Amino acid sequence: MIDPLHRWSTIGEKPDYAGLVTFAGSPYTEDAAELAGADVAIVGAPMDDLVSDRPGTCFAPRAIRAASSPSGMHLEAGVDAFSELKVVDFGDAPVMPADARRSHAAIEEVVREVLAAGVMPFVLGGDHSITEPSVRACAAEGGPVGVVHFDTHTDTAEHVFGATRSHGTFMRHLVDGGHVDAPRYVQIGLRGYWPPEEDFAWQAERGITSLFMHDVRDLGMREVVHRALEVVGEGPAYLTVDIDVLDPAFVPDTGTPEPGGLTSAELLWAVREVAARLELVGADLVEVIPTRVGTADYAALVGDRLVREILTGVALRRGGGRAGAREVAAERAPST
């Protein structure tokens, strides 16, 4: 296990731009035996073979790590997720360029190793198809999961350009395969012009809940998240965040951007609230396309902060933070 902060321990603080690039300066290991006692393991899934438009998400795990900084207390929640939780960077799954099947198998295997150690996996994509092997591993461990899915798109198509394996079809595979409990599956942030009506009909037959951007506009973010939490309820749940749910004004660097999306402030609050309220067994963040270095890459920076908010929510759920911090955080939902 390598601790990137160790050399700076006498000073007390490592500069963000120096040292080994791990998520938030977390200790790094690729040895599953060293996961014992950890709460969360970061796993990179650097593949983008299954995109329908712009590639580049294979560079995101490194870029998100490089845009991240060592931890500190969350000023609103009153908790430092990285002191409350033992977070380990478990490195990248050994993906194979141009062989999505083998890449998915590699991701599934690494996520299984994390789960077998009793640790929550947090996967950094990659295109959104990486959610398929990650959820499969989670469901194999504890049964079908409920899902909170932030995205512009449903990703439940039967085909995209005639291909069944795609970042636009994986949720259908997960539902059909019994890995996702459809009545406990909710989508948030849908908008635009895809998928066609027959895919929404397929969803409705299975009891999947869709919350659109016009619902966010009409009801407000707090009510939308409240409804999502009601849908998922008790039991194991998985949180997947496609960064294209954000308006391209905030993050244009994603494969299939669509105007009219969430603000960063809305999404940062929402993912923390979801993580604080549900029994998360796994999570991922996908579809970031980095184009700059370090914190100059805004997509990677927002990606890093989304992961932190989710970890802050997990820490709050486990009793961390100031007294009443969970309630305070919920009260401060951004109004839209």
Q: Please name the residue ranges forming H helices in 37-98.
A: 60-67, 81-84
Q: How far is the CB of 42 from Mn ion (least distance, A)?
A: 20
- Which of these segments, 8-16, 144-152, 156-164, 217-225, binds Mn ion (CB under 5 A)? 144-152
Which residue number, 50 or 87, has a Cβ lying nearer to Mn ion? 50
Q: What single string gives the DSSP state of each residue in 159-196?
A: -BTTBSSSTTTHHHHHHHTTSEEEEEEEEEEE-SS-S-
Which strands form 236-242's sheet, in the order they lie side by side? 87-92, 40-45, 120-125, 279-286, 236-242, 145-150, 180-190, 209-212
Minimum CB separation of residue 246 from Mn ion in Å reads 12
- CB of 85 or CB of 224, closer to Mn ion: 224
Rounded distance between C-alpha atoms, residue 7 and residue 122, angstroms: 26
Least distance in Å: CB of 282 to Mn ion? Answer: 16
Contact flag: residue 258 with Mn ion (CB under 5 A):
no
Picking from 95, 240, 98, 49, the residue whose alpha carbon sits closest to that of residue 155 is 240
- Total number of residues that touch Mn ion (CB under 5 A): 4
The strand ranges marked E within the chain are 40-45, 87-92, 120-125, 145-150, 180-190, 209-212, 236-242, 279-286
- Residues 49 and 267: their CA atoms lie apart, in Å, by 27
Which residue number, 22 or 131, has a Cβ lying nearer to Mn ion? 131
Contact 241, 254 (CB under 8 A): no
Mark the segment that binds Mn ion (CB under 5 A) among 105-113, 153-161, 183-191, 214-222: 153-161
Which window, 79-87, 106-114, 124-132, 259-267, contacts Mn ion (CB under 5 A)? 124-132
Q: Which is nearer to Mn ion, 52 or 69 (CB)?
A: 52
CB of 50 to Mn ion, least distance (A): 11
* Pairwise CA distance, residues 258 & 192, whole Å: 7
134 vs 312 by CB, closer to Mn ion: 134
Q: Does 151 bind Mn ion (CB under 5 A)?
A: yes
For Mn ion, which is the closer residue by CB, 18 or 163?
163
What angle separates helix 100-116 from helix 131-142, to the nearest 10 degrees?
A: 40
Minimum CB separation from Mn ion for residue 174, in Å? 13
Rounded Cα–Cα distance for residues 262 and 212 (Å): 11
User: Interface with Mn ion by CB under 5 A: which range of 113-121, 155-163, 175-183, 321-329?
Assistant: 155-163
Which residue from 92, 155, 258, 304 is in contact with Mn ion, where contact means CB under 5 A? Answer: 155
Q: Does 242 bind Mn ion (CB under 5 A)?
A: yes
Q: In the bound complex, what is the minimum distance in angstroms from residue 102's beta carbon to Mn ion?
A: 22
Give 8 or 250: the residue with its C-beta nearer to Mn ion. 250
Pick from 74, 128, 179, 277: which binds Mn ion (CB under 5 A)? 128
CB proximity list for 294: less than 8 A, separation 6 or greater:
16, 17, 66, 67
Return residues touching Mn ion (CB under 5 A): 128, 151, 155, 242
